[in-house]
Chains A and B, each alone.
Chain A
Amino acid sequence: MRLAGWGRYPVADCALSAPRDTAALAGLVAHGAPLIARGSGRAYGDSAMNRTHTVSMRHFDRMLGFDDDAGVLKAEAGVILGDVISALLPRGWFPAVTPGTKFVTLGGMAAANVHGKNHHLDGGISNFIDWVEVMGADGAITRASRRESSELFDWTMGGMGLTGVIVRLAMRLRRVETGWIRQQSLAAPDLDAAMAAFDAGRDAPYSVAWIDCLSTGARLGRSVVMLGEHAPLDRLPMRFRRIPFGPPPQRRRTVPFNAPGFALNRWTVSAFNALYYRLGTRRTGTAYVPWDSYFYPLDGVLGWNRIYGRRGFVQFQCVLPEAAAREGLRALLQTIAAAGQGSFLAVLKKMGADRGRFSFPMPGYTLALDFPVSDKVLKLMDELDRITLDHEGRFYLAKDARLSAETLHAADPRAGDFASMRRQTGAAAAFASLQSERLGL
């Protein structure tokens, strides 16, 4: 069947099967042809696509137990993060790390070692995964943690499902008193101000900036920086205290059709950006925001990926090391603004250190933006790759749909180590995606 990632680019005919238990899954692995596991299909590109053998994990969707004292959830890999929140937030627990959508699977989160707005303090999700059970090339399941099979654990976090199929895992959650976030917004008139705001807010549990990628000159990099923390019950405004875990998830609106190609252009996007920035400056200050709209603003619009039209969209996300970040970001933003290819969702975030032998994050700044697919955009992306490379940055594979093997291996020597580990363990012969083939992993 026709499959694509969240960006709806690329699209390929993939044979999809959905085993019901580990025995059936082992049968597929033993079959010989390499396969890749697929969760919710929320990776943007071709990470969870394999033409001859894509394996949906949708039947592995049971929560297996929750330790109320330690806050550890044991679950099958296909459990959806949003269902975890629905089940456990009313008991006072929230995911310790969450990406920008709650529709991801837990297995997908581990495979991508996803990061969230607290990465600068807490690192990625791998820091909160006690163990994963991985089905290897021989069909046997190995439990990997920091103590047992720690090599496998470290390669699996951020390994994009290429070390084996993650079937179960244990994830630690965070205790919260409420489901509300106390948010502080600051308007930063340029890039230096935005970076200074991140430094000043380094102790804030959550921080992220929306960045205007079309403004130039003195306004280059103008941003709205948003800091946040889980609101304790006694700080919550009285009117929210009777619903401490926030209103139920927001009403969903659906984008019913693909927007025409002209809906997004330099003028509509820059009008949107100007408006957003103006609202940001006006709303500067403190607000209490429910968890759902704070962490998952786009989940409220189901199928928002269709807003980019029929050809789909690509996301660019890199991280630049602290020392080169200022110059690198400046170069990236200037190139993007000059190309006039605006993106509704441009995000800047300061990252901290991370573990994982092949994980994306490093201390520095990450920039993420998406663009509707066109030949011009794909050329622009190549240029952004080059700038990233020049500034010793690296690329987030969960977002990638078009990076070249040369660029990846030049940017990240760990890619070669990862590929040789896969050859040695036999994983290379059993697990592959369109992405791993494209990138020579």
Chain B
Amino acid sequence: MSGGAVLVLGARSDIGLAIAHAFAAEGHAIQLAARNPGTLEPARTDLALRHGVEVTLHRFDALDPAGHETFLDSLPALPEIAVCTVGFMGDQAESETDMAAARLVMRSNFEGPAGILGLIANRFEARGSGTIVGISSVAGDRGRATNYVYGSAKAGFSAWLSGLRNRLAGTGIHVLTVKPGFVATAMTEGMDLPARLTAEPDAVGRAVLRAVRARRNVIYVKPVWWLVMAVIRAIPEAIFKKMRI
């Protein structure tokens, strides 16, 4: 067995579990963290059986910053790699009228993930090694009418990861930003997604594994998304504001 432990924050998500499988298959011990870790018991058994690695479950609430230090202290070991897949899309229309709903989306996608990864980054820095993986979103590349509350929180998270990467450059700690694009998960079930732009969670898992090993900085899981977003970003605001995409 090779490789240190991988901590997955928000492990109940399809993407979180897929990333856990990808690293477990390479012999990494896995720490799964979620609000209700008991529900991850079958996933733990499955991961351990398939890959013969140690898998532990941990209670973690991204929206409870007061508990973050205690949570980190409770881990069997400071992980080698920390992956944050915490996120919540919410409902755009609701977020426009209900401040509490909007705030939940902003906190779940920005405040929570940045808060816990910031603490982990400090511990990695003290140790002198580690990799931080933040699952952000293409929705953060430009605000659109259909999901700008979610998108703006992801934009904040992307900028935060970029700054963290800048701060830690040269310290041996690596920061990877992942923009998955459309992924066929529970979150997107029932949406009519274009097949060529949609990745399976397994593909996200493998892409993250590859990117961590190659010490990439920012990845789009399907390369075509880089092009799509480059085009979307290049549209002048005067035109963009009238578009419905």
Contacts and interface: CB of A to CB of B under 8 A. Distances in A.
Instruction: From A63, A86, A90, name the one whose CB has the most chain B CB atoms within 10 angstroms.
Output: A63
A63 B50 contact: yes
A63 B46 CA distance: 5
Interface residues of A, number: 10
Contacts of A64: 42, 45-46
Nearest to B17: A62
B194 to A, nearest CB: 14
Given A62-B45, A64-B45, A86 B50 contact: yes
Interface residues of B, number: 9
Contact of B186 (A20, A62, A63, A86): A20
A274 interface: no
A63 to B, nearest CB: 5
B86 to A, nearest CB: 20
B52 A62 contact: no
Contact of A66 (B43, B49, B186): B49
Q: Which DSSP category, helix, strand, loop or mixed, fits chain B's interface?
A: helix
Nearest to B50: A87
A151 interface: no
Contacts of A199: none
A65 B50 contact: no
A87 B48 CA distance: 9
Interface in A69-112: 83, 86-87, 90
Contacts of A63: 45-46, 49-50
Nearest to A20: B186
Interface in B76-114: none
A20 B187 CA distance: 12
Contacts of B52: 87, 90
Contacts of B45: 62-65
A87 B129 CA distance: 31
A322 to B, nearest CB: 41
B49 A65 contact: yes
Contacts of A62: 42-43, 45-46
A91 to B, nearest CB: 8
A31 to B, nearest CB: 16
Nearest to B43: A62
Contact of A83 (B42, B43, B50, B186): B50
A64 B45 CA distance: 6
Given A62-B42, A62-B43, A87 B186 contact: no
Given A63-B46, A87-B49, 4 more contacts: A64-B42, A65-B49, A83-B50, A86-B50
The 9 closest A-B pairs by CB, nearest first: A62-B46, A63-B49, A87-B50, A63-B46, A62-B42, A87-B49, A66-B49, A65-B45, A64-B45
22 contacts: A20-B186, A62-B42, A62-B43, A62-B45, A62-B46, A63-B45, A63-B46, A63-B49, A63-B50, A64-B42, A64-B45, A64-B46, A65-B45, A65-B49, A66-B49, A83-B50, A86-B50, A87-B49, A87-B50, A87-B51, A87-B52, A90-B52
